[in-house]
Structure formats: structure tokens, C-alpha cells
Amino acid sequence: MKHEDLRRALAASRVLVVGDVMLDRYWFGDVERISPEAPVPVAKISRIEERAGGAANVARNIAAIGGQATLLSVVGDDEAGSALQRLLNEHGVATSLHRDASITTTVKLRVVARQQQLIRLDFEYSPSHEVLAAKLDDFRAVLAQHDVVILSDYGKGGLTHVATMIEAARAAGKPVLVDPKGDDYSRYAGATLLTPNRSELREVTGRWGSEAELVEKAQQLRTQLRLDALLVTRSEEGMSLFEPAGVTHEQTLAQEVFDVSGAGDTVIATLAAMLAAGESLPRAMQWSNLAAGIVVGKLGTAVATAEELFER
């Protein structure tokens, strides 16, 4: 597809993103001394940044390349939840954020000095059953309005009903792409495609000693879970797409790896947006590989813009 046609198709595409969201906070400063109270560095903070993380970062990646993203998730009824809502509005993401007064919004706070993380502090709680049930009802209600569904699992409890969501989406004829978490993938059975990274796949299938053994394990998993395909991101080794007809491999396109945070979000976001725009799965993987090569050259949870993607 020509770039002009693809841009128009992306603008008309609609992707529904469901999953765990978080607010990524970055405190930037400098370290010039060690604390007299304990043997730890003292960071003098000079700048604070906030970014949408988790499934929210997936949604903003879709918007950044010109697609339409709708985000369905749960946040706390707090300042961090409001900050996340504001950020998503600024990024052009349509939102349906359920407020749960019994939890606080997941926040990951990173203190960075001289381009190095000193510490990361996580604040997280699982949403209530009542809020999750309401979110499931909303999912069913908006499903027909979208072309592709992404389920972004960060293990924070937001995808408790993931099996039901997969079943409903497939029954409605919608491709379902899942970014999985944990060592039990049976809950993702019947999805269109899973996008584990190399270490996540190893946690499920066990180690492999050769490329042939990797192919065998990946294809067994794909068959066992009744997936149309399995896309494994392999860091410096690129990414591999496992389908019934065989394997397609893409070499990494990263020029310089600065920070891999959020690269998996970029991969699944670009993949879904390109599929929704009418690209084939192998071609969508090529675009995803290109986008991933762009974001790993940036600090923190970042996005590849449409301009960067099409210029490459």
C-alpha cells in the first residue's frame, strides 16, 4: 500500500485497547554528593515529566502514528487518575476510564540523574470486582465500533475477564491481539495473536538450545492455544512471526538502543493499527519492527510518530 493511502487508512482505523494503565512519572535531576544520613546519592530534582504508561502507552502509540484509539481501563479516583486522563486527552485518545474509589492509580516513579535511573518506586492496587464487571459490560457495548482489539496485560488485575473478552471479540469477528503476562497463557486461548518477548516466552515454554528448537516450542504453543499467529520480539535478534504456514523473521532495525521501556507497547500498537488499516500480518510486523527501532532510541516510555515512521 502506498504511504498516502496507508495514512488515510490509518486515519479511518479504530483500535480498542483494554488493559492495565499506569502513570509514569520521571523526576530528573543531578547528583553531586552522598547523603550524610545513609550511603545513598542525593538527587537535586530540577524537572518533572509525566507520561501515560501500560495500556495507556499502547493507545497513545496508535494515536501517534495516525490511528484512532479508544482506551478502556480502570484508575483510582485520585490525582494520578486525573493526570492520566488529561495526558490521554492531549494525545488524542478516546477514553473510558472507570474510577474506582477503593484503589489508587498505578504510578511508577523514576528518579533519573545523568540519564541513569537511580531508583523506581511503584504504587499499585488491584481494582474491585464491581468496577471490572462494569468495564466488561462497556467492552461488549463498544466492540462493534472497532476494527481490532488489543488486550494489554501488565498483571495488575485489570484483565481478570480476559478469556470472556477474547471469546466476545472473536464471536464479533474482531482480531484480538494480546500482550501477555505471567507463566500461564491458557487464559489467552483463542486469541488471534500473542506478542511475548523472548524472556516471557522462555518462562512459558522453557529454554531452547537452537533456532530449530525455538521454532518447535513456539509452534507447539501456538497450536495448543489455538492462535492464528505468535509474534516473538527478540531484542537484538529482531522479531519472529510464527504462523501455520511457517516462520517469518525480521532483523532488528534499531540504530542505537538507549531505553527499551515501552518497546513492547509500540510493537503491538503498530501491529494492530496497521492490521486495522488493511495491511497483511507480515507487512504489519515490518512496520512494528520499524517503530520499535525508533522508540528504543528514546528515553522512557516513548512513541514513534507518523513522520518518523514514514520517513524511515
- Catalytic positions: 265
CA distance 132 to 191: 20
Strands 107-113 and 21-34 come out as: parallel
- Which residues 6+ apart lie within 8 Å of 120 measured at CB? 108, 109, 110, 111
Among candidate residues 70, 71, 73, 127, the one with its CA nearest the CA of residue 98: 73
- Which residues 6+ apart lie within 8 Å of 109 measured at CB? 25, 27, 120, 121, 122, 123
Residue 150 class from Cβ within 10 Å (0-12 exposed, 13-18 middle, 19+ buried)? Answer: buried
Classify the phi-psi angles of 3: left when phi > 0, otherwise alpha if psi is within -120 to 50, otherwise beta: alpha
CA distance 95 to 167: 23
